Amino acid sequence: MATEIERKFLVQGDGWRQGSLGVPYRQGYLLADGNRTIRVRVAGDRGYLTIKGPMLGISRSEYEYPIALADAEEMLASLCQGFLVEKQRYRVEHAGHLWEVDEFQGQNQGLIVAEIELSDPEEVFALPDWVGAEVSHDRRYGNAYLSFTPYCTWDSSPN
């Protein structure tokens, strides 16, 4: 088991783009019941199956397995529920940490979120100036939530 420890922020401005093209991600959920999340993901030309346990603060257990691209595509098309979550993922270095910036498309177009993965919940890191409000504890910004209640259905845009 890996432990995923992650903080999540809204993004302001374009300072993070740095000319990178990013990688297209498409993902859906076999299960998302608040305690367990089972995700099927296509990242570029690779397939993944990921099981996550319940959130404990900003940490959760995570089991990720590479799977055949064809399997992932089939499961996305036939076995997942909710909307497909589509986004472009950019990897941005800042002050010795790697940030992942997700620019959502499709039903979640208009939403841009930055995540930083930590090795400890108390780990100190520098905030880039393109990072805005923290949303680590706002469940609406979870990708599983966005699959069932996409950004375009939210009452008012919160960023």
* Catalytic (active-site) positions: 29
CB of 90 to a second copy, least distance (A): 29
Q: Which is nearer to a second copy, 30 or 152 (CB)?
A: 30
| Length of the chain, in residues | 159
Partners of residue 4 on adjacent β-strands:
60
Q: What does the DSSP assignment read for 72-133?
A: HHHHHHHT-EEEEEEEEEEEEEETTEEEEEEEE-GGGTT-EEEEEE-SSTT---PPPTTEEE
Q: Is 51 in the site for a second copy (CB under 8 A)?
A: yes
Q: Is 63 in the site for a second copy (CB under 8 A)?
A: yes
Q: Is the dihedral of CA 101, 49, 146, 134 positive or negative?
A: negative
Stretch that binds a second copy, among 7-15, 34-42, 110-118, 135-143 (CB under 8 A): 34-42
Q: Is 49 in the site for a second copy (CB under 8 A)?
A: yes
Per CB under 8 A, contacts with a second copy among 85-144 are none
CB of 74 to a second copy, least distance (A): 5
Report whether 132 contacts 9 (CB < 8 A).
Answer: yes
- Residue ranges in contact with a second copy by CB under 8 A: 1, 30-31, 35-36, 38, 49, 51, 53, 61, 63, 65, 67, 70-71, 74-75, 78-79
